[in-house]
A and B are shown apart, each in its own frame.
Chain A
Amino acid sequence: MPSSNIKFSSLSRYLVATALMLATLNACSFDSLVNVDDPESGRELSPGAISSREGGLGLYRSAVGQLAQGISELSRQVGAFTDELAVRPASSDDHNGMNWPDDSRLDSTNRWGERMLASSSYAYLHGARVRASQARTVLSKFDDPSYNYILAATYGVEAYSIILLAESMCSGIPLSEVPFGLDVEFTGAIPTEQLFTTAIAKLDSGLLLEQDSARVTALLRMGKARAYMGLGDYEQAAEVVADYSETDKFELTYTLASPYGSPTSTYGFWADTVLDINRGNYNLFEMVNREGRNGIVWYQDPNKIDPRLPVTLTEVEGVAQFATVVRQRKRMVGNMPFPLAHWVEAKMILAENYLSKADPQWLTELNSARRSVGLSDTTDPGTSSARVDLLFRERAFWFYLDGRRLADYRRLINQYGRSIATVYPVGVYTRRPGVPFYGEAYVFSPPSSEYEHNYKYDGCIHRNP
């Protein structure tokens, strides 16, 4: 029928045209049709831009920087909660809630034990870990042996971050991953022991890489030894660093300067908030002496100052309750190296291993280190308990404000069976008579945001005092 022909001719043409249209659309690669360049900004960089050698190096540097920041924050926090630092009173920030060491119930009121500084050091250490892993992913693509030392260093940075978390916090810390360009992988609580073994595994991976950087090797070895110490395996730790020499070291550096030229935008490490008491609102901390009941006597006489811990006594006007402020001089200036791995620590590890086996060599190792800074030899106190006290006192002086003191408290309790009351600076906060007491044990658990945003995390497994 002519009419039908017309109609169905129309229909068929329409269908043919439709089919052609769809075919054309399909012929174009849909994804290429809408593909756009990555967003760019003055400082924003897309993952595509980071997938380069320079991007990988940038990630590695970020990891190192964040590790430094993490240790810096941890040092301040550990210092404040142990017998290393105290908060100056009458600060203009007192009424802004920043006088937290005055709050004695440090581990009793907050469900998660969160403290502002804790959250910052916690985040930095995880940041270092994640960036290091991402840097390794990016740089591994290039299969360039000249990058092996950086790849090895990324293992070191990652492992150190884990070790610091394990040493300082409760048992049960998550190690979420952010694989480069992929989705976030959340993890639940990982016990302290497992954190140490994870760190050892990563350090072993780094040591397996063929590279000729003595610095990096020193970092990896010391990290491994430190992890074994955390596990209480002094023998293994000593074995790793048995031949550690004075030239074996890995240092971070810090500065007060800013890359952006603004003097108010300080970068990194302790100096900005801990040590420069002349910096307006930042003058929160000072050095203390024999803090609480168990605190170490850091100095006795201005004329007999331990070279490992130089101090300056300063008369400060306007501070109502005491006129003399003790300023430590160990890390007072910018652009100083900070030893992450150092032969003195090897000596301390060797000494502890010897002491655990009642080998008199332990004292030799301690004095070997003391002599390096011109100190006279110390003598054996005679009892095993006093020997342990001496060993840890030596560690305290060597590692003052390095963020190690809390880990040593924990080891004294968990590995040497000391009671909390004999380790922590329990008692009156010496510089603020009349204000509440220190608590008796501290639990550094992850900040609230970890509980809120990590759906696999339910909290610490063990307080790990």
Chain B
Amino acid sequence: MKCWRNLWVGGSGIAGCMMLAIIPMTMPMLNAQGSQTTKPAPKSGVISIRLESVNIRKALQEIASEAKVTLMLDGNDVKLKKVLSDSVVANFQAVSLDNAVAIVMRNTGYTGVLSSDGRMLMITPVKTSASESVSTGMVSGTVVDSAGGKGIGGVTVIVTGTRLSAITSSTGAFTIRNVPVGSQSLTFKLLGYASETRNITVESGKSTVVKVTLSQAISQLSGVVTTATGERRKVEVAHDIARIDPEIIMQRAPVRTFADLIEAAQVPGVLIQRQSGAPGAPSKIRIRGIGSIAQSNDPVIIVDGVWIDASVGYPSRLDDIDPSTIQNVEIVRGPSAATLYGQDASNGVIIITTKRGQAGPTRWNLNYSRDWGNTYGRVPYAYVGFGRDPALGATVHCSNLDVLEFRCVQDSAVRYDPNSSLLNREGVETVNRMAVQVDGGSASTTYAITATAMNTIGVNRISPIDKIRFRQLGYDYSSKFERPSKLDRRNITSNFTIIPRSNLTVGLSLVGNQTSLKNNGIIYRMETSSNTQIERDFSTDTIQYLRQRVSPTSKENPIRSDATIVGTAIKWNPRINWVANGTVGYERGGREESVYQSNAHCDPLLPCADTTGNRFESTERRTIQTVRLNTSTELNLGSTLKFLEIRPSIGADFRKENVSVLAISRSDVPPGEKSITSGGTAYPNGYRRADATAGWYINSTIGLFRKLYFDLGLRQDIGSAIGSSKNTKYPKLGTSWLVSDENFWRENNIVNMLRLRFAVGHSAVQPEVADIRGFYIGAFEYIDGKFMRSVELRSPSNPNLVPERATEFELGFDTDLISNRLNLMATYAHSENRNTLVTRELPPSAGGVWGNTRKENIARIRNRNFELTSIGRVIENQNTLLVLNYTLTLSENVVKKLGKGMLPFSDQSVARVQVGYPVAGSWVKEVLGYRDRDENNLISLDEVILSDSAVYVGWSQPRYRASYGATMTLVNNLTFDARFAYQSKYVQQYTRENRYGAEDKNAPLQEQAYEVIAGLTGRRSVTDLRWNSASVTYSLPSQFVKPLRARSISVSLQGSNLGLWTNYVGRDPGVNSSILTSELLTDDGTGVPRPRSYVLDFKIGF
């Protein structure tokens, strides 16, 4: 057929207009855009089309359609039929028909031939000649990372000007055959790395070997992010989404829990508040401040598409997700970003993607780490005051407040050193952690399974003096009290990706976690003459009162929690420009806690039998069902409107949560019995609760000229509490403008890239069902001489409740500066939470006696945040890479409105919600002055002048936060890393026992003054600088690794919590024992400080 022209002979080549090569389905899909700073070169009559997960037949059809030619296929060619069913992925931007067909048919043995009139495209077998075979050579080589020297997989290697290309394997190796002889240019591209071009000379019949080093691109705009409607290129997304790579974080800092991971990532606007440094102690995550007063401020957590329970329990549900099993975490900050996630998303969304497998041979990764930790810093002497009750004349323990309020006349103070060899109860914390990961698969199925185990023995130990006392008392304290705090965690996470058809991908993820926490210990009951028992729990407390007149009793508190998360994700591409996603998820969480506490009240100086006891057990079951459906399409209007991209999507989701709790307590349990069914009197209690939300949304991304993007969306929700009658429509609008791609932009080496973005959106936190419906309790009344069942109204209904509505606008910019060496991202976010729910007391005339409160939408809260992230490559050469990063967060939280007639309310008289001040603002009496009048080096109460009224001293969250980190890599094998964090202008409550005593003559007078009135003030503004972590990591060069038949070996020595510089008098302002119960309270009084730990981490991959 002479009228056919072989497209490949004499073709003009790819000529630099092709933006991306074909990527086999077995490899990770790459975004088609490459560097955002690269400007496409439009060309008349070219093809711009995205081909994802389609077979070659469809790809050819799309290309033919785009080029307005008729496709002709030989139906009798069996081999061709098979070829046409193969999968292909590509994204063409202004590519010629020749090249597009060449790319699609690469390595298939077929080629495309265009009819002479250019109207028909026929696919025919490639005919090779002997002359061709001798005029080519082979190019092979490796692509390695400039930072660690490791091979980089997925790099596209293109022989410039030809159809020839290859993708590197996971080790970075590639081979391209049949490369025309002579001078050639190779281009190496991978998102996240700066592109490289290498000129080579190819000799006939010979192999040319190339080694190329790629440097990670500084730009944070590369790559894709997960949104409610699916993955999007980051440049198209108008709000800032932080992305965390756990593998990188865990290489530089000890990470045991999910909260550790988030904290180590130092994401601006994200705050981790720790309860304690004890094993299993939970943490709260707060994103861009506190928006709710009576509702949860927890962000939504989504694991592989499954909305999981993120409540702060003990241990935290967040700890069900082992950091080792995570591929990446994305933090969606603020309502403007979270609009489409629906109810409860106002506090932000954290999207966790667990590790995925890569096709190829089975790979094993083993990781073992061992931590040693201990508490640090000077512990001041502690004092216990004793005196007498003026009314009763009895000897009592005096707190400062007792003294101030004349309940106690103090006559002595007894000093003790908590760190003395006898009293010290802090040992060395040890953590053993092991992770085994295996992944691999074929083109149609990949898998990744990660199993982790962690064992922690907390820093607490029984003190020598306690041992002696127990022996004297005839107690068997046994080994379970020797080290009272223990945590064991087992986690297995698996992911399977199945591609049954070229346009269908099914993912299955399973997470199973089991945690066992033991808080055994001793409770000391201080017997005072007024029979008040001061209980100090050995397992959680830091320092005991003086061991005088105390009765020790044993306490065992085992807690078991488990979680199962199952997620199924289906992605279906019925057409090239139409994608449908569906996720079905299920989470089941369980928790069982038992407390067995002996109840002996006996003189400690006499032998005392463990005669009676109390036992408490509770079982908690939570199930969460998540269904999320989303469909999106890409409307490409072809050559007529190629400047316009529209990607509308529509989706719906449904979530239902069931909670059931059964608690049984039993008193008078016989000695030695640990079973709830044994003896005594049982008091069962419990509750069941269910909550469901559903919603649908429409969203559209509109792109103009590939540099100006608009993101429009609208969501509507319904929920169990709010029904469908409330105004629960949440709009969003965002725009992202790649200014540096505009024609007016003049290329320069100072500002290489600049993007401006703006987003505004609404989101909500909904009330609970009981808040709207109200509830009663069962009771008894004595009527006509007998008790009869009655019901008592506890919370009147409030059918007018609406969800809290948060409106946020955020604006910011991203820029690459100074020859792409410095990247800056800055964001200002302003959010107003309207209709904020407040638990409001009802007037007695509404009939309440007890619990006469209900929620009302009466407050308004404003949060303003400024967030800055800076990453700079200070030194970058062949042997050395020094990267510095810096983050800054400025936060402001103000109660703008509190409802008519709502007076400022307080919690323990110091934390208030007051208009004009932050939600958790602290108010204390001021120390106006002090003077040691009697010159005895002791400040007593009458030597301190206090203000008459309390003054505002600060907020429970830092007003200013900054972090600083430096990473230096030498000769690609040795990496040093150090991280610091600074926080200021926040308030912490301290208690007396851990501070300077009232009788400590060595203490600074100012501290004495504060200590004396600790009961009245008790709060201090805190500024601290913490040396969070340091690490040195050595990756063995390949010559040492290969003989061991390993792929990679690395050893890392890490340290965490290495230094703390603060004005805070307490032991560690970074722990906060009251976070479980209230946003308003902060209290370091009983928290175990965070240990300083050193970690040896060993990783080997096969």
Contact = CB atoms under 8 A, between A and B. Distances in A.
Interface string A40-58: 1111111111100011001
Interface string B623-665: 0000001010101111000000000001010101000000000
B392 A253 contact: no
Contact of A61 (B631, B633, B789): B789
Nearest to A58: B791
B791 A18 contact: no
B845 A454 contact: yes
Contacts of A268: 782
Nearest to A3: B65
Given A11-B633, A126-B847, A253 B783 contact: yes
A255 B777 CA distance: 21
Most buried by A among B635, B776, B799: B776
A62 B800 contact: no
A71 to B, nearest CB: 13
Interface string A255-288: 1010110000001100000000000000000000
B575 A450 contact: no
Contacts of B635: 7, 11
23 contacts: A3-B68, A6-B62, A13-B575, A30-B724, A37-B688, A39-B775, A41-B686, A45-B775, A46-B773, A47-B773, A58-B789, A59-B791, A61-B789, A119-B844, A123-B852, A126-B847, A177-B846, A184-B842, A255-B782, A260-B780, A267-B782, A453-B843, A453-B901
B25 to A, nearest CB: 22
B846 A176 contact: yes
Interface in B900-927: 900-903
Interface string B271-300: 000000000000000000000000000000
Contact of B693 (A7, A34, A59, A455): A34
A39 B781 contact: no
B803 interface: no
A62 B578 contact: no
Interface in B375-423: 390-392, 406-407
A82 interface: no
Contacts of B901: 451-455
B744 interface: no
Nearest to B68: A3
Interface string B852-868: 10100000000000000
Interface stretch (A127-135, A228-236, A239-247, A376-384): A127-135
A120 B850 CA distance: 10
B794 interface: yes
A14 B633 CA distance: 7
Contacts of B902: 452-453
A106 interface: no
B interface majority secondary structure: strand
A185 B213 CA distance: 75
Contact of B775 (A47, A123, A127, A182): A47
B849 interface: yes
Given A41-B687, A183-B799, A14 B391 contact: no
Contacts of B871: none
Contacts of B723: 31, 34
B719 A2 contact: no
A3 to B, nearest CB: 4
A449 B840 CA distance: 11
Given A50-B776, A58-B789, A61-B781, 14 more contacts: A30-B724, A39-B687, A39-B770, A41-B687, A41-B688, A47-B797, A48-B773, A62-B781, A62-B792, A126-B845, A176-B845, A447-B844, A450-B843, A453-B901
Contacts of B148: none
A335 B784 CA distance: 9
Contact of B720 (A34, A46, A454): A34
B782 A253 contact: yes
A54 B686 CA distance: 22
Contact of A62 (B70, B390, B791, B900): B791
B718 interface: yes
Contact of A33 (B629, B654, B789, B843): B654
A118 to B, nearest CB: 10
Given A38-B773, A131-B793, A176-B846, A259 B787 contact: yes
Contact of B392 (A1, A92, A119): A92
Given A50-B776, A62-B779, A62-B792, A182 B799 contact: yes
B782 A65 contact: yes
Nearest 4 Cβ contacts at the A-B interface: A130-B847, A65-B781, A259-B780, A58-B791
Interface in A165-195: 173-178, 181-184, 186-187
A122 interface: yes
B849 A127 contact: yes
Contacts of A223: none
Interface string A10-45: 110110011001100100001101111111111111
Most buried by B among A64, A129, A178, A453: A453
Contacts of A50: 776, 791
Given A58-B791, A268-B782, A39 B844 contact: no
Contact of B724 (A11, A14, A31): A31
A261 B872 CA distance: 71
A94 B406 CA distance: 12
B306 to A, nearest CB: 18
Contacts of A184: 796, 798, 842, 846, 854
Contacts of B633: 10-11, 14
A438 interface: no
B500 interface: no
Interface string B134-175: 000000000000000000000000000000000000000000
A343 interface: no
A268 B686 CA distance: 27
A254 interface: yes
A123 B849 CA distance: 5
A255 B849 CA distance: 20
B797 A3 contact: no
A124 B783 contact: no
A127 B696 contact: no
A94 B686 contact: no
A36 B656 contact: yes
A66 interface: yes
A278 to B, nearest CB: 18
Interface in B848-905: 848-849, 852, 854, 900-903
Contact of A42 (B687, B779, B789, B903): B687
A61 B687 CA distance: 24
Interface string B563-581: 0000000000011111010
Given A38-B769, A42-B686, A129-B847, A182 B780 contact: no
Contacts of A36: 656, 690-692, 720, 769
